[in-house]
Amino acid sequence: MSLLINSVKVSDNTSKYFNSKVNILIDSKGYIKKISKKKISAKVKKKVDFNSKSISESWLDFRANFCDPGYEYKEDLHSGIKLAINSGFLDVIITPNTNPVIQTKSDISYIQEKSHNNFCNIHPCAAITKNFNGKEMNDIIDLHNAGVKVFSNTFSGIESSEMIMNSLLYLKQINSLLISRPVDKTFSNGVVNDGFHSNTVGLKGIPRISESIALKRDLSILEYVGGRIHFSGISTKESVSLIREAKKKKLNVTCDVPIYNLLLDDSNITGFDTNFKVDPPLRDKEDINALIDGIKDGTIDVIASHHQPQDVDTKKCEFEKANFGIISIQTFFSNIVELSRKIPLDILLKTFSSKPKEILGIERSSISEGSKASFTIFNSDGSWDYDEKINLSKSINSPWLNWSLKGRVEAVIKGNKIKEII
């Protein structure tokens, strides 16, 4: 099937058509045959007019939990994929903290078989050690050959410097990536950011040093042995400074920040709404400003959803007992639009399209003739009401539920296939 996309505004600032309104002809094999500012006359099976909506290369979410296998009552691969596609994402890295933990070839086969679809590629992250015990390394080569691109120690109960070093050395041999959530667990048994608001309401705090101590350790090991490391979920001004300096030293380090840590500060916890209980915790406005500066100057590579579904029972309870997490894929682009008041949208788009693809080694989908089509079409000015009827997740733990939001995804294109979002 050939496809003609009329009247889209190019948002990719590396394209020669940047900020231009164009028409795009996609052939039956899914490649861009022609891009023109003028009308394209061609016989096609399908034609869609988007009335000057924006188009970018397809989006990638660097961290989401689809809870499958083991916790399918919160989310599963089918609901997660539907959610991702309808939110503009055609690639998603899913976390391995499932039951059983994602750590064997059969686990990868299960995910690959259950996640097969025409639009969204699921990239399973695998545990670096068996059951996250921090002691016995999984069969990394076997998993790598099965298609795993990234490995994580993020959910380890026991983390030793020696295991971090061995992981980096082992993964360096196959040019694979270690994902680390920088946290010193001896300082992290609180529930919110340690600061004025935690003291005011009497909730146990998580100090910034819990993040910076772990980050310093991992960076020191990286500098010593080499390899590649990605810090997932940084949240403090100290972390931004440490990663900035590491990049100046030419260390092979990248990082991501949860979208909600760029918008929400720890004053939100004073109402004891458990939907604001997240990991990493919401920090203060000074931290948010440092994170924003880090995106502007390229220190922070990726903005990720950190989608973490939780069932009602684990959220409608005392704040101290509630599980951490927000569902955040469906509201992601609306959050980006809000953030674009402080950071230009074309800079933000790179943090969940081209940059994460470069980190993973995934081929980019440039808006140019001859390229394979893989695009997201969106409307920054479009509005919508986010309620339980519209919510596509199995869970409802979102602070934005029952809000009117700005920023709509209009369609996704993969090859010669298009899905328009209603």
Confidence (pTM): 0.97
CA distance 176 to 354: 18
Q: What is the mean pLDDT of residues 109-115?
A: 97
Residue 422 has pLDDT above 90, yes or no: no
What is the average pLDDT score of the chain?
96
pLDDT for 149-201, tens place per residue?
A: 999 987 765 578 999 999 999 999 999 999 999 999 888 889 999 999 999 99
Q: Which runs of E-coded beta strand occur in 106-203?
A: 121-124, 126-127, 150-152, 177-180, 192-193
Could you tell me which of 198, 151, 199 has the C-alpha nearest to residue 175? 151
The model's confidence at residue 113, banded by pLDDT at 50, 70 and 90, is very high
pLDDT for 311-338, tens place per residue?
A: 999 999 999 999 999 999 999 999 999 9
Answer whether the bond into residue 124 is a cis peptide, omega within 30°.
no
Q: What is the mean pLDDT of residues 58-75?
A: 98
CA separation (Å) from 250 to 219, 223, 227, 243, 246? 12, 9, 12, 11, 7
Packing angle, helices 237-248 and 285-296, rounded to 10 = 30
Query: Which residue do the tokens 């509201």 mark?
Result: 331
Q: Residue by residue, what is the 3-state secondary structure of 304-362?
A: ECCECCCCHHHCCCCCCCCCCCECCCCCHHHHHHHHCCCCCHHHHHHCCCHHHHHHHCC
The residue count of the chain comes to: 422
Quick check: 372 and 90 in contact, CB under 8 A?
no
Query: Which residue do the tokens 């909506």 mark?
Result: 53
**Phi, psi dihedral angles at 417 (to 5 degrees):** -105, 145
